[in-house]
Amino acid sequence: MLVLGIDTSCDDTSVAVVEDGTKILSNIVSSQDVIHKKYGGVVPELASRRHLEIINFVVEKALKEAGIKLNALDCIAVTRGPGLVGALLIGMMTAKSLAYVHDLPLVGVNHLEAHIYANFLEFSSLKPPFVSLVISGGHTDLIYFHDFDQYKILGRTRDDAVGEAFDKVAKFLNLGYPGGPVIDRLSREGDAKKIRFPRPFLGKSFDFSFSGLKTAVVNYVVSRKENNSAADIVAGFQQSVIEVLTAKAINAAKEMKVGKIVLGGGVSANSALRKYLKTQAKKNRIKVYFPALCLCTDNAAMIACLGYYKMKKYFKDVKNRCFSLQQLDLNVEPNLKIEENFSL
Ligand code: KG4
Ligand code: ZN
């Protein structure tokens, strides 16, 4: 089954073609970083306008790279939420137009759920149950993935998402945008043990809170007690974040009695987290799955992959196109939650 995936949930315009949920034929990601850089964060209106300008070119490029024509597709999958409403609408309208004109079934998927499915693209033997940590610019969710479409939220952030904390700390230190990759790189030159920032564990709760940690970094810099370098500061901040994420993910896996932790979202590209979590999990005989770096951050291959699984489960006969028109009343859901288990 050939699925065209479209994602315009935030500031990347992405279109991919994936065969049978595993084989990536193309995965085009057009980044808007240069547009938003000068503001130190995503400007929603600018994001929507840029999506609109380039979405058709990105669709064309994805098809060309995959070496297929639109009439060879079996289905179109598009992100219906969560995300920025204006940005989501561009992807949704594009998907609906293509589905209508080419008489294809259309499936709307949850972007966070797709971040987890990025792992199914790579690890064909991965099977639930497992604990999943979705860590991105907008979300920090610890999820018990019991089976396909059976999720339980164990905890989530009470304030800033973890990627947001990386971005805000980088912005405060004038390090550039997006902050996560910059802090990841700069931390390698610093000493993570030099400055000990608080570890926001919130007792035994599986919830997260990174806003206080971000303020602790700001207060430290403002008071400038010692003359530590930016590399030491960000390395100390990053260490605090990864210790909290790691401890909670491992505790959750133990509590749910599963031997697997599956990561997803932009922050799972963090090199220090990948190393630390793997080492700690091994000590507890837990296996950790991370998507390849290019599949951690936003991309449409993961949308097409999830679309494939939804199609297989809910639309028995894909070639029977009788569902296509019904799906044209799909709408975007900017605040869609992963446990709102209605992704079609
Ligand atoms: O999943 P994603 O591409 O978009 C959202 O759905 O939000 O995640 C983007 C977030 C940004 O906050 C970015 O700073 C962070 O992921 N990020 C990282 C790294 N690469 C991207 N954070 C820490 N270390 C990284 N290497
Ligand atoms: Zn994302």
Q: Is any ligand 1 atom within 6 A of the Cβ of residue 184? A: yes
Indicate whether 266 belongs to any domain: yes
The answer, yes or no, to whether residue 343 has pLDDT greater than 50, is: no
Domain enclosing residue 263, as ranges: 128-293
Instruction: Determine the residue of 136, 234, 294 to mutate for testing ligand 1's pocket, defined as the one with the most ligand atoms within 8 A of the Cβ atom.
Output: 136
**Predicted pLDDT of residue 228:** 78
pLDDT, average across residues 230-237: 97
Q: How far is the CA of 112 from the centre of ligand 2 (A)?
A: 6
166 lines ligand 1 (CB under 6 A): yes
256-292 residue pLDDT tens: 999 999 999 999 999 999 999 999 999 999 999 999 9
Assigned domain for 123 exists: no
Task: Note whether 162 and 281 are same-domain residues.
Answer: yes
Instruction: Determine the distance separating the centroid of ligand 1 and the alpha carbon of 138, expressed in angstroms.
Output: 9
Task: Evaluate: CB of 167 within 6 angstroms of ligand 1.
Answer: yes
∠ CA(154), CA(239), CA(165), 5° rounding? 65
Helix (H), strand (E), coil (C) string for the chain: CEEEEEECCCCEEEEEEEECCCEEEEEEEEECHHHHHHHCCCCHHHHHHHHHHHHHHHHHHHHHHHCCCHHHCCEEEEEEECCCHHHHHHHHHHHHHHHHHHCCCEEEEEHHHHHHHHHHHHCCCCCCCEEEEEECCCCEEEEEEEECCEEEEEEEECCCCHHHHHHHHHHHCCCCCCHHHHHHHHHCCCCCCCCCCCCCCCCCCCCECCHHHHHHHHHHHHHCCCCCCHHHHHHHHHHHHHHHHHHHHHHHHHHHCCCEEEEECHHHHCHHHHHHHHHHHHHCCCEEECCCHHHHCCCCHHHHHHHHHHHHHHCCCCCCHHHCCHHHHCCCCCCCCCCCCCCC
Split at pLDDT 50, 70, 90, the class of 344 is very low
User: How far away, in angstroms, is 79 Cα from ligand 2 center?
Assistant: 10
Residue 121 lies in a domain: no
Number of domains the chain is built from: 2
Let me know: does 268 contact 229? Beta carbons within 8 Å: no
**What is the CATH classification number for the domain harbouring 322?**
3.30.420.40
% pLDDT > 90, the chain: 86
CA-closest residue to ligand 1 atom 21: 266
Same domain, 226 and 322: no
CB 138 within 8 A of CB 82: yes
Asked if the model's pLDDT at residue 102 lies above 60, the reply is: yes
Give the per-residue pLDDT at 312. 87
- Ligand 1 closest atom vs CA 111: 6
Residue 319 scores a pLDDT above 60: no
252 CA to centre of ligand 2 in angstroms: 22
CB-based contact 202:209 (threshold 8 Å): yes
Instruction: Give the pLDDT confidence score for residue 316 in this predicted structure.
Output: 61
pLDDT digits 0-9 by tens, 115-130: 999 999 999 899 999 9
Query: What Å distances lie between residue 286 and 143, 282, 312, CA to CA?
Result: 16, 6, 30
- The per-residue pLDDT for 225 is 66
* Banded model confidence at residue 188, pLDDT cuts 50, 70, 90: very high
Residues 78 and 176 in one domain: no
Q: What is the pLDDT of residue 52?
A: 97
Q: Quick one: pLDDT at residue 132? A: 98
Task: Answer whether residue 341 shows pLDDT above 60.
Answer: no
Residue 141 lies in a domain: yes
Residue 303: nearest ligand to its CA? 2
Residues 147 and 279 in one domain: yes
Q: Omega before 129 cis (within 30°)?
A: yes
